[in-house]
Amino acid sequence: EKLIAELNEKYRLKGEYENTLRQLDRVDTALAELNARLAEIDDGLFSEEAAQRIKEQIIKFNIHFSAVSNALYGEKYALKVDRKTVKGRRLYEFSTFNLNFSSGKKQGEIVCFDIAYTLFADQEGIPCMHFLLNDKKELMHDNQLLLTAQLVNEKGIQFVASILRDKLPEELNREEYVIVRLSQREKLFGV
């Protein structure tokens, strides 16, 4: 009886292990199918047709990016894309031609990009919000803040930026431009 009990226990364990192996085989099969589908998607994303489409869209975007940056800085910024492989994964890397900016000018480049994207999205029929939420804009020069205010007003874009009062240009430090003022006593949501 003891031998039969041990034998039954071994059969039970064998059944559990076989069941686990079948489950692992099903998971391996599902993973192989999903990896094959991902490879198909990647092949589509990195095909010559997709690369050409991206190039065409960047050209359209750069028309806006260049115009906005020219209006704010007198310089024509442009976006570029490079195809790369990092750790075995293909990807597109987007960057601007303008490097080594000061932190203030980098903030200005971000503003130019955001405005340009909103205009591009409108042109392409891409739904997007028409407000830009920004931080660290006190690093931008007063002239660019003023030009930004004029440009977004002309284009129907709301520009929301948190800026210290003493860093705000006098022309923009008017009640009609201020939505909320915060201080050590007047905190957002009372927190």
Average confidence (pLDDT) over 28-41: 95
Please tell me which of 63-72, 91-100, 141-150, 174-183 the model is most confident about, judged by mean pLDDT. 63-72
| pLDDT band of 23, cuts 50, 70, 90 | very high
Is residue 10 pLDDT above 90, yes or no? yes
Nearest to 178 by CA among 191, 168, 189, 188: 168
Please tell me the predicted confidence (pLDDT) of residue 79.
92
Please tell me the predicted confidence (pLDDT) of residue 191.
66
Average confidence (pLDDT) over 45-49: 91
The Cα–Cα gap between 73 and 22 comes to: 65
Residue 109, SS3? Answer: helix
Average confidence (pLDDT) over 145-169: 84
The tokens for 102 are 């000061």
| pLDDT band of 99, cuts 50, 70, 90 | low
Tens digit of pLDDT for each residue in 157-167? Answer: 988 887 777 77
Between 142-155 and 103-124, two packed helices, what is the crossing angle to 10 degrees? Answer: 10
Please tell me the predicted confidence (pLDDT) of residue 98.
65
Rounded to 5 degrees, what are φ and ψ at 175? -55, -35
Tens digit of pLDDT for each residue in 113-133? Answer: 999 999 999 999 999 988 888
Please tell me the predicted confidence (pLDDT) of residue 139.
66
What is the sign of the dihedral through the CA atoms of 50, 52, 54 and 60?
negative
Average confidence (pLDDT) over 31-53: 93
Is residue 187 pLDDT above 70, yes or no? yes
Looking at the chain, the whole-number percentage of residues with pLDDT higher than 90 is: 47
Is residue 108 pLDDT above 70, yes or no? yes
Please tell me the predicted confidence (pLDDT) of residue 71.
92
Please tell me the predicted confidence (pLDDT) of residue 101.
64
Query: Which has more pLDDT, 25 or 103?
Result: 25
